[in-house]
Structure 1
Amino acid sequence: MRKLIYFFFSVVVLILVSCTYYQLHIEESRSTIEDKEPQGIPVAKAPDFKAFKRIEQKKRAFFDYLRPGIEYENSRTRKEREFLLNSKADIESGSLSQAEVEQLGELSMLYSVKIPVEGPDAEWLDKMLHKVDVLPEALVLIQAANESAWGTSRFAKDANNYFGQWCYQKGCGLVPLARGEGMAHEVAKFKSVQQSIHRYFVNINRNLAYRKLREIRYQLRAEGKDLSSPESAMQLTNGLTKYSERGMAYVKSLQAMIRHNQQYLQDDAVAAK
């Protein structure tokens, strides 16, 4: 009996240690994936947006500057989604190749959707498809314009941060001049603007705070709507109440900006095709 208890205790300890190691490995791998400098697109130096005398020129220059990086992230996301859909039959039949298992594991880490012990299943795939999807260019452009004051903010110029993204380790970014008493966050500093865009995509597609946005997007796709349209961007803003302390007032400001900048957004979308 004593030997049985000792054996049981040893197995429990081994499982706990293994789980701890696995979780640490997951976090380290996910950090590596997130922080990896995106490849395949030149990281251009930002124009001096304050130097533009005409607001129309500034807006066009701002949108033109960010659009290639947004398309790069959407292209990456489309490829990830296509891979998931192409793996559906193998997931359902339980005949995944080792290469598929490894890539699905990497995606599960990036999007924080834990794979069941038995392996990927239909429920897991559905959760992934809620997260792994494109973001309307208009939404990303307008949020960047709002958060960075059209590329003129201190955080955009000194930290490559166009989306007001925070971090919580001392020295990880720039300390806001108006940071409230007792608060310890900093505004994250990125190696490049492209990395800032990448982390924005990961944040929106993974963070629990933006689950409503992802549900709206999932429904729009189910209805056959064009997710790249300004109309879809307008719909998705309703899932961003937690992006700012201003809540619904923040959403209303984004919607007003989308309406006010329709000409530039549509002209830019046509020019990009």
Structure 2
Amino acid sequence: MHKRETSKIILIAVAVMAITVVLAWMTGTREPDILDVPETEQAEQPVPDFAAVEDTKARKQAFFAYLKPEVEKQNDYLLSLRHYLQTLQRQLTAGNTLTEDDNERLEWLAEEYRVDQNMPADKQIKQMLNKVDILPVELVLMQAANESAWGTSRFAQQGYNFFGLWCYQKGCGFVPSRRSSGASHEVARFDNLSRATYTYMRNINRHDAYRELRHIRASLRRAQLPVTGLALAEGLMNYSERGAAYVNELQNMIRYNKRFITE
């Protein structure tokens, strides 16, 4: 084959590949990146009218059926990120350098989980592994039930906010009716359930107020013990002004509703 013909074939192949990539991007069929936050199929569906379900057991079952798949999806995502970080950690330990893509992803994760980007990559990863981890399904569901009155609050019904999350820009959410004089916070409004759940879990995993929860979880990991909602609830003392009373209430809710969650 002549050299000129070979060059033409190569150019055609490159052009075909470029067109394929562009079309995949435009049609949304590209392979998802590790940092693409997952969204469940039900994420943008209207929140069910839980208040209309009169039977208490049926209301709880409906509540769990709605939220549980989302929590499990976000936990799967956290585990995939954790596995990815562990893979990078092994590469660095073996003396290998990270690719440009890996460095970009690491930079995004460091910003997302509030880790100092100026420190060496191995130290960044070590800190991130303390933050990028699951939250037990039973703990998330009980916090959601507690903060949203079992999904009946207007913040949950109108803004997918089951977790009492605040925001601080005017118009970012709902102005609470009992907001203190001089306060400027609002109760956050979200576009869908996936974004709300992701934001809540990220908040627990990165905010200084919940450092104790992460310490408890890391200790359980090192001891190869189950990461349970009852154990991690101890680290949520700062989630509510009620402190220890709030933690005790969550733990009692977990014990009492365990049979409904696992059904």
TM-score (norm 1): 0.79
Mapping 1:224-263, distance limit 5 Å = 224-227=224-227, 232-263=228-259
SS at match of 1:187: strand
Q: Aligned with 2:187: secondary structure?
A: strand
**Structure 2 contact 39–195 (Cα < 8 Å) conserved:** no
- Is the aligned partner of 1:222 residue 2:222? yes
The residue aligned with 2:108 is 106
Structure-2 residue corresponding to 1:15: none
- CA contact 1:41–1:72 (8 Å) conserved in 2: no
Deviation per CA, 1:215-270: give whole Å up to 9, x if none. Answer: 0001111111222xxxx101101110111111111111111111111211232xxx
Q: Contact 2:47/2:160 (CA < 8 Å) preserved in 1?
A: no
Q: How many residues align?
A: 226
Q: Which residue number in structure 2 is paired with residue 79 of structure 1?
A: 80
Indicate whether 1:205 and 2:205 are aligned.
yes
Instruction: Report the CA distance shift for 1:224/1:37 in structure 2 as closer, same or farther (over 3 A).
Output: closer
CA-based RMSD of the aligned residues comes to 1.5
Q: Which residue of 2 aligns with 1:129?
A: 129
Other structure's SS at 2:262 match: helix
Report deviation, 1:38. 4.1
Partner of 2:187: 187
Structure 1 gaps of 5+ residues are 1-35, 268-273
Question: What's the % identity of the aligned pairs?
Answer: 43
Q: Could you list the runs of 4 or more consecutive aligned residues of structure 1 that deviate by over 6 angstroms after TM superposition?
A: none
Offset, 1:49: 0.3
Confirm or deny: 8 A CA contact 2:81 2:132 kept in the other structure. yes
- Between the aligned partners of 1:239 and 1:41, the Cα distance in structure 2 is 32
Code of the residue aligned with 2:211 in structure 1: it is: R
Whether the aligned pair in 2 keeps the contact of 1:41 and 1:69 (CA below 8 Å) is no
Matches within 5 A, 1:53-72: 53-72=54-73
Gapped regions of structure 2 (runs ≥ 5): 1-35
Write the distance in 1 (CA, Å) between the matches of 2:214 and 2:41. Answer: 27
SS in 1 for 2:58: helix
Other-structure match for 1:30: none
For residue 54 of structure 1, report the CA deviation from its aligned partner. 0.8
TM (normalized to structure 2)? 0.82
The one-character-per-residue Cα deviations of 1:163-212 (angstroms, maximum 9, x if unpaired) are 00001111111011111122111100101122110100110011111010
How far apart, CA to CA, are the structure 2 residues paired with 1:198 and 1:51? 27
Compute the displacement of 1:101 (Å): 1.0
Structure with higher helix content: 1
